[in-house]
Amino acid sequence: MTANEDQEMELEALRSIYEGDECFKEVSPVSFQFRIGEHDDSKAFILDISWPEMYPETAPEISLDGFFNKKISSETKQLIISGLEEQVEANLGTAMMYTLFEWAKDNQEALMENHQAAVTAVTLTSNSDLNAPAKKKEKKEQLTKSQKRKITCRTDNKGELPRGWDWVDVIKVYSFTAVDFVPIIFVVLSDFSFYFIRHPCY
């Protein structure tokens, strides 16, 4: 059998075994993802495995660089990959995807044993942040309803005084009515004294 025929047969087998399994995802006919553990499990990780052209005669490419695995330390990732590479060497030349996935599931606890320490360190850091003194909020000046009403009456929607609020009404200043202007009679007496008399009509 050629490498392509072996790949086709293994692909059909994987599709039938993992049909409806949420942990298995076929990214392409030669690239697969398998989640070890549940989503909410802190020790869960995703294996990315892709087949080179000559697989299964050559080893598949194994990666843990996905976003889901960002919480895992590089030492733990290296431990997982080393264990999988040992399985690859033992099964080289045969269909090995099912073997790799099942081995990872069976050994999840042992592989992620040191992962707990990393989680604890993160938790301690977050707890120390909680103990930090809280920043004091600046209090805004509280205004009464009447003060707010006065401000809104004087200002526009931006809080600024309207244009021309201090302008003088020229017409009002220079217009005179009969009441405003009262004629006065100036009387001069013979001894050069004088006095003012208001006009009787006004």
- Domain 3-118 fold: Ubiquitin Conjugating Enzyme (3.10.110)
Mean pLDDT (whole number) for 115-138: 56
Token output for 172: 């009002």
* pLDDT classification of 74: cutoffs 50, 70, 90: confident
Mean pLDDT (whole number) for 51-74: 86
Pairing label, strands 45-50, 61-63: antiparallel
- Confidence check: pLDDT of 192 > 70: no
* Alpha-carbon gap, residue 4 to 56, rounded angstroms: 9
* pLDDT classification of 198: cutoffs 50, 70, 90: low
Predicted local confidence at residue 135, as pLDDT? 65
